[in-house]
């Protein structure tokens, strides 16, 4: 379901798809609901306390996942990502966040292209290339750098996008 919500390719890991879509893993969510039920339901249990525990468990799982490295480098803090007030996801945002999409390195890996070169500048095409180097995206990069007050990097691109509704 997370693949559908995020409009992600089926090659995206479950962990990354869940984070991008903002969907708590079902086993962790079931544990939260079980704890609330043991406490007498949402009226007697404390849903906010249980949700904090849930988010901590999910974050621990995300921090130690053996796949989704690119997504994790962009979205390190799940609670900040899922608590955003704007900045929905779509097919194109998901491609960037997952690294699975219209990038030469990905398309070559899945045998959809014969090479991994960027169609705009003939460098190796990857999400990192798009973010840092590709001249096709220079204007968008410059605009974002003006908005966040620093150079766009893997570490700050999502944080920067979440600072302003215009990003």
- Kindly report the pTM of this predicted structure: 0.87
pLDDT confidence of residue 165: 57
Write out pLDDT tens, residues 97-123. 999 999 999 999 999 999 999 999 989
Closest CA to 67 of 124, 12, 121: 12
* Mean pLDDT of the region 29-54: 86
Mean pLDDT of the chain: 91
In degrees, rounded to 5, the angle at the alpha carbon of residue 60 between the alpha carbons of residues 78 and 57 is: 85
Please check the confidence at residue 81 and state whether its pLDDT lies above 70: yes
In the chain, where the domains are located: 1-89, 102-167
Write out pLDDT tens, residues 57-78. 999 999 999 999 999 999 999 9
């Amino acid at each position: 379901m997370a693949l559908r919500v995020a409009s992600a390719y089926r090659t995206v890991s479950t962990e990354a798809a869940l984070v991008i879509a903002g969907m708590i893993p079902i086993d962790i969510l079931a544990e939260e609901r079980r704890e609330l039920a043991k406490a007498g339901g949402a009226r007697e249990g404390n849903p906010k306390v249980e949700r904090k525990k849930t988010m901590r468990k999910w974050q621990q799982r995300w921090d130690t996942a053996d796949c989704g490295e690119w997504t994790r480098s962009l979205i390190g803090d799940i609670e900040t990502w899922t608590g955003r007030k704007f900045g929905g996801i779509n097919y194109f945002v998901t491609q960037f966040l997952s690294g699975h999409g219209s990038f030469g390195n990905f398309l070559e890996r899945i045998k959809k292209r014969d090479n991994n070169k960027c169609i705009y500048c003939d460098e190796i095409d990857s999400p990192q290339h798009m973010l840092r180097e590709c001249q096709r995206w220079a204007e968008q990069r410059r605009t974002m750098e003006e908005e966040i007050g620093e150079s766009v990097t893997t570490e700050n691109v999502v944080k920067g996008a979440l600072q302003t509704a215009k990003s």
